[in-house]
Structure 1
Amino acid sequence: MMNSFKEAIEALPAKISVIRKIEVGLNMNPGETWNIALYSEFDNLDDVKFYATHPEHVAAGKILAETKESRACVDYEF
């Protein structure tokens, strides 16, 4: 399932033009709390909002929806 999510997310730049960079990391340490890290870059907050509600992104998120216990998110500007 995590590999399916990783593949779905990594395919998004070809489908959602506002994505400048996207990486998915799968946790290699089973003793840690989190299993997946997602890093992405956009030009501005409007692009983040567009990405977050895009049907392809929503579909990718549904891969984890049934097994996800919790989620943490930080959106910041640099």
Structure 2
Amino acid sequence: MIKHIVFFKLKDASLENVETTATVLRGLDGKVEQLRSLEIGVDVIKSPRSYDIALVATFDSLEDLEGYQVHPEHKKVIEYMNQVRESSVAVDYEF
């Protein structure tokens, strides 16, 4: 199995914008068949080193992760995230 974790720092980290963006990310659930699980979390500490939103997704295989990356619903979310994010970091690992 593959765990896919992404942290997002938003250009505008207002509560409204963070919640809107988290809702957009949660919208992937049930729309991308390769996703086994999806968890979206909003940072509660808000320290200078914090990112605003975390995405944690689980896939059965690396091939499923690759399919997710090119899925039309994921591509729509990427377009949105490219407009609102300042930066992001990711890690993918087998477990």
Distance 1:45 1:59, change over 3 A: same
C-alpha root-mean-square deviation of aligned residues, in Å?
A: 1.5
Structure 1, residues 19-73: CA drift from partner, whole Å, max 9, x if none?
0000011111222431111100000000001111111112112222123222111
Matches within 5 A, 1:29-48: 29-33=45-49, 34-48=51-65
Distance 1:4 1:60, change over 3 A: farther
Structure showing the higher strand proportion among its residues: 2
> Relative contact order (C-alpha < 8 Å, sep 6+): which is higher?
2
Structure showing the higher helix proportion among its residues: 1
48, 69, 73: which one pairs with 2:90?
Answer: 73
Give the ranges of 4+ consecutive aligned residues of structure 1 lying more than 3 Å apart after TM superposition: none
1:15 alignment counterpart: 31
Matched, 1:5 2:51: no
Note if contact 1:23-1:38 (Cα within 8 Å) is conserved in structure 2: yes
Structure 1 regions of 5+ residues with no counterpart? none
SS in 1 for 2:47: coil
SS in 2 for 1:8: helix
Distance 1:11 1:69, change over 3 A: closer
Q: TM-score, normalised by structure 1?
A: 0.84
